[in-house]
Chain A
């Protein structure tokens, strides 16, 4: 199947700093990328959907100024958590789908810990 990577896999930062997470589709063109957040023992929560070259569509309750999403190319999307606080600590997962597939492929996830 298609491969989606995320970097970093784990990041620890101080409160108030910004953190950027990268999501890459390695072997297909990702026309649409999704960003999810998962709290412990909870299901995936969709944060936003981004199409290449256009602004992301955020789900209700997700602060777009805090979670900046950029999908500048068909293989790369980034999520920047701005002015991170301890409550932003979570497991962030990206996924991607392309024109040649009906399937959404997930990255391995990034664990963010804000001290």
Chain B
């Protein structure tokens, strides 16, 4: 049973525009949410996170929004750059257990 879902396997965005990556989860007990970026043949790199007590966290070009009532998480990248092209994984945490989505491949077109 997939507790964390990324329903869009891929996304293409023009350079300079906003990229919005979405993630849905089913377990209301998750207390921490994370986004990772992954290039081919490399391990995922931590990007940004948010606690369940917040609804927004911003770090430079990256903002994560959490809508607990909808059990929905999103990552906004503004402005998008070609170097942002990668696979993005969302993850949810409860206790010491992490649940990952299947990833969204973002392509930023120059």
Assess whether A102 is in contact with B89, with CB atoms less than 8 Å apart.
no
Q: Is the CB of B49 within 8 A of A109?
A: no
Interface size class of A (residues with CB under 8 A): 20 to 34
Interface residues on chain B, number (Cβ under 8 Å): 21
**A98 CA / B45 CA spacing, docked (Å):** 17
Residues 40 to 58 of chain B near chain A (Cβ within 8 Å):
41-46, 49, 51
- What residues on A are CB-neighbors of B93 within 8 Å? 102, 104
Q: Does A103 contact B (CB under 8 A)?
A: yes
Which chain A residues border B69 with CB–CB below 8 Å?
Answer: none
Instruction: Tell me the number of A-to-B contacts counted with CB atoms below 8 Å.
Output: 49
Interface residues of A in 46-80 (CB under 8 A from B): 46, 49
Q: Is the CB of A106 within 8 A of B49?
A: no
Known: A93-B43, A95-B43, A104-B91. 5 other contacts (CB 8 A): A44-B44, A102-B51, A103-B49, A104-B34, A109-B42
Q: How long is the Cα–Cα vector from A6 to B103 in the complex, in angstroms?
A: 23
Would you list which residues of chain A between 90 and 115 have a CB under 8 Å from chain B?
Answer: 91, 93-95, 97, 102-109, 111
Complexed CA–CA distance, A44 and B100 (Å): 8
Answer whether residue A32 sits at the interface, using C-beta atoms and an 8 A cutoff. yes
Contact partner of B42 among A43, A103, A108, CB < 8 A? Answer: A108
Residues of chain B having any CB pair with chain A under 8 Å: 32, 34, 36, 41-46, 49, 51, 89, 91, 93, 96-98, 100-103
Given A43-B101, A43-B103, A103-B34, residue A97 in contact with residue B43 (CB < 8 A): no
* A–B Cβ pairs within 8 angstroms, 20 of them: A4-B43, A32-B96, A34-B98, A46-B100, A49-B96, A49-B97, A93-B44, A94-B43, A95-B43, A97-B96, A97-B98, A102-B32, A104-B34, A104-B91, A105-B46, A106-B36, A106-B43, A106-B45, A108-B42, A108-B43
Q: Is the CB of B100 within 8 A of A43?
A: yes
Within the assembled complex, what's the spacing in Å between the Cα atoms of A101 and B45? Answer: 15
In the complex, what's the smallest C-beta–C-beta distance from A97 to chain B, in angstroms? 7
A104 touches B98 (CB 8 A): yes
